[in-house]
Amino acid sequence: MPQPREHLGVSLRAVPRGGGRAGVSVPLEPPPGSLSGAGPAPARPGRPLLRAGEAPAPAAMELLWAAGGLLLALSLLAFVLYCCYVRYIHAKYDHIPGAPRESFLFGHLPIIWRMVRNQEFTPDLFLQWAEKYGPVVRVNAFHRISVLVVSPEGVKEFLMSPQHPKDPTVYGTLFSLFGERFLGNGLVTVCNHEHWRKQRRIMDPAFSRSYLIGLMETFNEKAEELMEKLQEKADGKTEFSMLSMMSRVTMDIIGKVAFGLELNALSDDQTPLPNAVTKVMEGLNKARVPFIRFMPGKWKLVKEVRESVRLLRRVAKECIDRRREAIQNGKEATMDILTQILKGAALEETRDEENILDNFITFFVAGHETSANQMTFTVMALGQHPEILERAQAEVDEVLGAKRDVDYEDLGKLTYLSQVLKESLRLYPPVSGTLRRLEKEDVISGIKIPANTTVFLNTYVMGRMEKFFKDPLTFDPERFSKDAPKPYYCYFPFSLGPRSCIGQVFAQMEVKVVMAKLLQRFEFQLVPGQSFKLREAGTLRPLDGVICKLKPRNSARGCQA
Ligand code: HEM
């Protein structure tokens, strides 16, 4: 949900007119001979009002009090006018159903702030509101109103049509993080349609089918490195965070295939880049706490987050410079994401170096966190449903046998695994939703939404509503079987329409390769006592990281090299 801008209050004291102490009238000029016995200083041009150590002259005091009084009066007037404006906005939107406001000015924010402070999961609040007040739900924050739309008709209207841009007031908050430029105008956050279209057209070839097939080798190679690391832990006793392992492998993959970098996050957990990304994601989450930058207890965190953003941009710059140098020296550029970013920049009339860095960071962050979360949630769901795990393993055994590498053709044969992955995205979508700006008044599900409203579309919420999915909290991959009816605009983990995820196919290939190898090689067990709750940290992730124990699978012992 959009966060309001911070308002800095100015505290002013009421003061009597004409002097420093109430009831004492101070003459404008002291009588001759008073104090030093000297008369009033003759007015000299250019004489400062006060000299160091000199008490303010009564006239100056009078002026200061008058200015203070005026400021106070103006502030009060501004506040009253602002309250009238808020009242007017309420009147404009109050026909839209919504939970009672907790406060006239803050609206629903105190509820959300409380949840963030208590580390509660705010999407569940939106789910409750959607069930109770939907399909169009009002959310107030100062004079800004957002609406949560949970009707398939609304999702279709807002996501499929290019006429509803991403909302700059919300995506603008990702432009920088605690004052450091972060995602800037990169492909995820850019709201201007023309600017987005140009960038997207240039990036599309890097995600074409033929290019993606060429990535199978890297997916296999990096997934194999993960298996080796897991093998070291597979004694049935060692407990480890699956999220941490998955994050490292996806980071190594995106580093290699997108930017030609060997990050070695899997073999070295002290490499600075993974830690910087974790810090930045934590910063994204914490940035929602109002005034956090001004809380002394949080200065250390804010400083670390800013340093991490700077580190990411510095690494991006070094990598880009190296690639440019290689191209200048006649080396043939690989057709990867970085080459496409540089090509796009070369087509611009004025080279925007900062925008190149924006896209580097965008692909780096968007391209690994999400897939890692999806895989970790899938391990969690499989660990909780042994019968589904068994069926998925049986399919992998049938398709791969003891073969080491997963071929592109195998991916299409792993149909049950696809269903499991889709169901995992329904209950645990790493990106819970997206936001659009409604620029002209519209009627959705019979409810009039005024122009210039932020519209929030949420796949987490819709994916958990009985109205759209029977028995929604049950993990059931059969919902996505070939014969089951397709969900109609109520399931969009990669968003839909023109601004949908460019990396969708990339991610699902990568995830299938890693998951297929994991299922082929290991039996896994979830360590009891963890909460399996979700947390928002830029993306939706498992709160406790999904702590697992592994054992090698008997049937996979003869895995071919
Ligand atoms: C499970 C994995 C993934 C999920 C669930 C996911 C989800 C999404 C969603 C929901 C959006 C729309 C965001 C919005 O409207 O604000 C999006 C956009 C995007 N994603 Fe992904 N994503 C995944 C993997 C990837 C990967 C692997 C890459 C890159 C290699 C990537 C790159 C992008 C980019 C660049 C956009 C912006 C597209 C545009 O606006 O043109 N994503 N993703």
Between the alpha carbon of residue 302 and those of residues 171, 284, 316, the distances in Å are 20, 10, 21
Say if 358 falls within a structural domain: yes
The enclosing domain of 292 has a CATH number of 1.10.630.10
Q: Are strands 433-438 and 144-149 parallel, antiparallel or unpaired?
A: unpaired
430 lines ligand 1 (CB under 6 A): yes
d(CA 495, CA 161): 12
Q: How far apart are CA 492 and CA 429, in angstroms?
A: 9
255 lines ligand 1 (CB under 6 A): no
pLDDT at 349: 67
Q: Does some domain include residue 20? A: no
Does residue 368 lie within any of the structural domains? yes
**Is the CB of 507 inside a 6 Å radius of any atom of ligand 1?**
yes
Q: Output phi, psi for 96, to 5 deg.
A: -85, 130
HSE on the CB side for 339, CA within 13 Å? 16
Determine the average pLDDT of the residues in 85-89: 96
Separation of CA 504 and ligand 1 centre (Å): 7
Task: State the pLDDT at residue 136.
Answer: 98
What separation in Å is there between the alpha carbon of 448 and the centre of ligand 1? 31
Alpha-carbon separation of residue 201 from 133, 194, 343, 344, 355 (angstroms): 40, 11, 11, 9, 16
Q: What is the rounded distance in angstroms from the CA atom of residue 500 to the CA atom of residue 488?
A: 16
pTM beyond 0.85, yes or no: yes
Cβ(372) – ligand 1 distance below 6 Å: no
- Any ligand 1 atom below 6 A from CB of 434: yes
Does the beta carbon of 374 lie inside 6 Å of ligand 1?
yes
| Mutation test residue for ligand 1: of 253, 259, 426, 501, the one with most atoms within 8 Å of CB | 501
The answer to whether the CB of 189 is under 6 A from ligand 1 is no
Q: What is the mean pLDDT of the chain?
A: 87
Q: Using CA positions, which residue lies closest to atom 41 of ligand 1? A: 499
pLDDT above 70: percentage of residues in the chain: 88
Task: Output the pLDDT for position 50.
Answer: 53
DSSP 107: B
Q: pLDDT (tens digit, 9 = 90+) per residue, 356-366? A: 899 999 999 99
> Alpha-carbon torsion 497, 502, 508, 509, what sign?
positive
Full domain range(s) for residue 523: 176-556
Distances (CA, A) of 104 to 71, 84, 92, 113, 115: 25, 11, 15, 16, 19
309 ligand 1 Cβ < 6 A: no
2, part of any domain = no
Question: What digits encode the pLDDT tens for the residues 149-171?
Answer: 999 999 999 999 889 999 998 89
pLDDT, one tens digit per residue, over 444-478 is: 999 999 999 999 999 999 999 999 999 999 999 99
Q: Is the CB of 362 under 6 A from ligand 1?
A: yes
pLDDT beyond 50 at 126: yes
Is the confidence at residue 101, as pLDDT, over 90? yes
What is the DSSP secondary-structure string of 213-277? Answer: HTTHHHHHHHHHHHHHHHHHH-SS---EEHHHHHHHHHHHHHHHHHH-----TTT-TT-HHHHHH
Q: Is 200 in the pocket of ligand 1 (CB under 6 A)?
A: yes
Residue 75 located in a structural domain: no
How many CB atoms lie under 10 A from the CB of residue 524? 19
Is the confidence at residue 196, as pLDDT, over 60? yes
Q: Which of 228, 521, 227 is nearest to 401 (CA)?
A: 521
- Mean pLDDT over residues 109-113, rounded? 92
Per-residue pLDDT at 197: 93
Average pLDDT over residues 227-231: 97
Q: Which of 52, 51, 62 is nearest to 29 (CA)?
A: 62
If one compares 155 and 352, the residue with the highest pLDDT of the two is 155
Residue 459 CA, closest ligand 1 atom number: 10
Distance 429 CA to ligand 1 centre (A): 12
Instruction: Give the residue carrying structure tokens 């645990």.
Output: 428
Ligand 1 centroid to Cα of residue 370, in Å, is 8
pLDDT in tens, 14-67: 333 333 333 333 333 333 333 333 344 444 444 555 555 566 677 888 899 999
Asked, for residue 65, whether it belongs to a domain, the answer is no
Residue 6 lies in a domain: no
Which residue has a Cα nearest atom 30 of ligand 1?
Answer: 367
Question: Of 166, 163, 94, 191, which is closest to residue 442 (Cα–Cα)?
Answer: 163
- DSSP collapsed to 3 states, 284-351: HHHCCCCCHHHCHHHHHHHHHHHHHHHHHHHHHHHHHHHHHHHHHCCCCCCCCHHHHHHHHHHHCCCC
In a domain, 342, yes or no: yes
Q: Which atom of ligand 1 is nearest to the CA of 510?
A: 27
Query: Structurally, how many domains does the chain consist of?
Result: 1
pLDDT given at position 269: 72
Q: Is 501 annotated as a binding residue?
A: yes
d(CA 21, CA 404): 88
Before 135, cis peptide (omega within 30)? yes
Q: Which residue has the tokens 């004409």?
A: 18
